[in-house]
Structure 1
Amino acid sequence: MWEEKLVIDPPYDFVRVLERLSIDPLKAVNIAEGTVKVPLYDKKKQPFAVTVHSIGTKLYPQFIIKGEKEKQKEIAIHEVKRIFQWDINLNDVRAHFSKSNLAQIFLEHEGTPLVLDFHLYHCLIKCIIHQQLNLAFAHKLTERFVHQFGQKMDGVWFDPTPEEVASLTYSDLRELQFSGRKAEYLIDISKLIAEGSLDLEALKHMTDEEIFKKLLPIRGIGPWTVQNILLFGLGRPNLFPKADIGIQNAMKKHFGLEKKPSPDEMDELSKEWSPYLSYASLYLWRSIE
């Protein structure tokens, strides 16, 4: 057993992080205790879990990370920092928006970080499952999928691997209430990953434009999916998904518009948000949740 204490720059509101994570029934979150269990993989791709425990406050954020095997400590700390974006100073983000047309929203949701999905593959399959579904059923379908084909260790669920999903048949997913087309997307894309035609790790070293060019030709991946991968899979800081209805509704409410803004109006209103468009998107979503 090992544990490591980390103190990060304020503000950082971990309560908001846990509240958002708890929406997903697959996440092992305990808001009262301030903990979440994170499923990870070591260098040999063996699964293991660590516990992230908040022992601080928004203005003095500090955490204890706990795990079982000492040899997994280095990769665990690296991954936890990446997932929870602890190397991003939210003071810089707050200062940028303090005199902007989103100043009030950023004051109300101060210290809300852009938290990443635990794994890039999970982000991808979640996006595919969630396409054109309401959130409640999307979570239920994802839960069925992981319970049926994934595994539970140390109190936390691990997704099935690309190789495991590639070995399934379309009817395996149809039995879980997947549409025929969505079953094809999920299995066929997993086959590309399993055979090495699609290297998800390589995406980390590409520009946003290169990732769009790489992913859009793949059947089942559209602009919305790529934008979500960039935002919640890779944590790119300057992304603004203008086609997202939630962002349109949030801007309509915040700016007192009679109807949802057009793409040109969104461009005009967001001129001063760069280079933190992703945080503007996140905070707009939070403003109507």
Structure 2
Amino acid sequence: MWEEQLTGTHTYDYHYLMKRWSMDQLNIVDTKEQVVKLPVVLEDGSRHIVVLQFSGTIASPTVNVSSANSSKQEAILSWVENWLQWDIDLAEVAAHFVGSDLEQLFYAHAGTPIVKDTELYYCLMKTIIHQQLNLKFAYTLTNRFVEGFGTIEDDIWFYPTPGRIASLEYGDLRKMQFSQRKAEYVIDTSRLIIEGKLDLAQLAALPNEGIAAELTKIRGLGSWSAQNWMLFGLGRADLLPAADIGVQNALKSYENLTEKPAPAVIHERGKRWAPYRSYATMTLWRSIET
């Protein structure tokens, strides 16, 4: 077992990261000890359980990183820094909104990070599963998906692989209360990956517009899906899902509006929030979370 401490010189609310990560009951989070345990799959396919223990203040955070395989220490540390987006000073992001219509929101929820999923493939599957479902049932389905087709090591769930899901029949997911179409979208998209017709790593290198254009060619993936994958899979900084009900409800609550603002109105307002519209989105969501 090795361990190394990353010291931040920037604002980062790791308490919120732990809270959001704990929304999925399969994730291991100990808020008392400020520990998160992650299933990490590196580019070479090797799998590792990585433990993050946070300390310090939001303005000066630290995270102790530990794992078992010392030969992969450098790669794991690089993965952790990328996952946390440790190089981004969220105080600088907030400074962008000083004098804007969201200034008080960023003041109230300082240091809100983008909380990414740990795998591009699983993030895409979760995005498909969560489409047009209430959050509670969406997590119920993703948990069934992981427990049914993933693997568990030392109480940590590793997510299903594209090959495992591509081998399924639609009925295998229908038994878990997937709709027929959702079962088709999940399995057919996984088969595209196995067939080499969809390469998520190559896709991730494209600009936002290119990613959206490619993903929306796939049956079952629309603009909302593409934006969510770029946000939670890649951590892109300038995305605004204006059609998202949560964003609309958050703006309605924040500004005491009588009705939710229309997507076109949010999109127009969001032009002033660029190039940090993803952080506006995350902070808006946070403002209405219980």
TM-score under structure 2 normalisation? 0.96
Change (3 A) 1:268 1:43: closer
Structure 1 residue runs without a partner (length 5+)? none
1:175 corresponds in structure 2 to 175
Secondary structure of the 1:94 match is helix
Residue 17 of structure 1 aligns with which residue? 17
**Structure 2 counterpart SS, 1:259:** coil
Q: In the alignment, what sits opposite 1:125? A: 125
Determine if the alignment matches structure 1 residue 210 to structure 2 residue 210.
yes
* Cα 1:221/1:139, change in 2 over 3 Å: same
Amino acid at match of 1:250: A
- The Cα of 1:266 is off from its aligned counterpart by 1.9
| Alignment match, 1:2 | 2
> How many Å separate the matches in 2 of 1:143 and 1:206?
30
Deviation by residue 1:148-187 (Cα, 9 ceiling, x = unmatched) = 1100113211111001110111111111111111111111
The aligned residue for residue 40 of structure 1 is: 40
* Mapping 1:22-101, distance limit 5 Å: 22-101=22-101
Whether the 8 Å CA contact 1:48–1:153 is kept in 2: the answer is no
Matches of 2:88 and 2:64 in 1, distance apart?
A: 18
Q: In structure 2, what is the equivalent of residue 198 of structure 1?
A: 198
Partner of 1:55: helix, strand, or coil? strand
Query: Which residue matches 1:260?
Result: 260
Deviation of 1:256 (Å): 2.7
- 1:222-273 CA-to-partner distances (Å, cap 9, x unmatched) read 1111010111111111111110111111112222322211234324433421
> Is 2:227 the counterpart of 1:227?
yes
| Structure 2 spans left out of the alignment, 5+ residues | none
Query: How many equivalent pairs are there?
Result: 289
Query: Is the 8 Å Cα contact of residues 128 and 225 (structure 2) preserved in structure 1?
Result: yes
The superposition leaves residues 24-47 of structure 1 with CA deviations (integer Å, 9 ceiling, x where unpaired) of 111111111101111112343122
Contact 1:39 1:47 in 2 (8 A): yes
Write the letter of the residue equivalent to 1:213.
A
Identity of matched residues, %: 48
Residue in 1 that maps onto 2:273: 273
Alignment RMSD (CA, Å): 1.2
2-structure distance, mates of 1:260, 1:32: 37
Report 1:103-118 matches (<5 A).
103-118=103-118
For the residues of structure 2 that align with 1:142 and 1:79, how far apart are their CA atoms?
A: 24
Q: Partners of 2:120 and 2:248 in 1: how far apart? A: 26
The answer on whether the counterparts of 2:54 and 2:61 sit within 8 Å (CA) in structure 1 is yes
Letter in 2 for 1:254: Y
Q: Which amino acid aligns with 2:280?
A: A
Q: TM-score of the superposition, structure 1-length normalised?
A: 0.97
1:288 deviates by 1.1
Q: Structure 1 CA distance, aligned partners of 2:163 and 2:220?
A: 18
Q: 1:182 to 1:166 in 2, by over 3 A?
A: same
